[in-house]
Amino acid sequence: MLRFSSPPDPSDLPARFPSPFDRAAVHPLARRAAMDTIAVLQLPGMAPWRLDEPGSGKMFGVLVVAAPDGTVGYLRAFSGMVAGQWVIDGWAPPAYDIAARDAVWIPGEAELYDLGTDDDARTARSRELLPAIQNTYHFANALGEVRAMRELFAPKEPPGGAGDCAAPKLLAQAYAQGLRPLALAEFWWGAPPRTGDRRAGSFYPACQGKCPPILAHMLGGLPADPPPVFGAAAIAESEPRVVYEDEFLVVVDKPSGLLSVPGRSGLLRDSVSTRLRARYPDATGQLVVHRLDLDTSGLLLAAKHTATFSALQRLFSLREIRKRYVAWLDGDVSGNEGLIDFPMRMDIDDRPRHIHDPVHGKHAVTGWQVLERAGGRTKVAFTPHTGRTHQLRVHASNPLGLDAPIVGDRLYGRSAPEYGERLLLHAESLAFTHPETGAELILTSPVPF
State how far the Cα of 280 lies from the Cα of 287, in Å rounded to an integer. 9
Pick left, alpha or beta for residue 62 (phi over 0 → left; psi -120 to 50 → alpha; otherwise beta).
Answer: beta
State how far the Cα of 432 lies from the Cα of 269, in Å rounded to an integer. 30
- Angle, helices 98-114 vs 119-134, to 10°: value is 170
Evaluated on CA atoms 373, 367, 258, 224, the torsion sign reads negative
State how far the Cα of 46 lies from the Cα of 40, in Å rounded to an integer. 8
State how far the Cα of 182 lies from the Cα of 63, in Å rounded to an integer. 7
Catalytic residue list: 293
Secondary structure (H, E, C), the chain: CEECCCCCCHHHCCCCECCCCCHHHCCHHHHHHHHHHHHHHCCHHHHHHCCCCCCCCEEEEEEEEECCCCCEEEEEEECCCECCECCCCCCCCCCECHHHHHHHHHHHHHHHHHCCCCHHHHHHHHHHHHHHHHCCEEEECCCCCEEEHHHHHCCCCCCCCCCCCHHHHHHHHHHHCCCEEEEEEEEEECCCCCCCCCCCCCEECCCCCCCHHHHHHHCCCCCECCCCCCCCCCCCCCCCEEEEECCCEEEEEECCCCCCCCCCCCCCCCCHHHHHHHHCCCCCCCCECCCCCCCCEEEEEEECCHHHHHHHHHHHHCCCCEEEEEEEECCCCCCCEEEEECCEEECCCCCCCEEECCCCCECCEEEEEEEEEECCEEEEEEEECCCCCCHHHHHHHCCCCCCCCECCCCCCCCCCCCCCCCCCEEEEEEEEECCCCCCEEEEECCCCC
Strands 425-433 and 297-303: parallel
- Which residues make beta-bridge pairs with 41? none
CB 91 within 8 A of CB 80: no
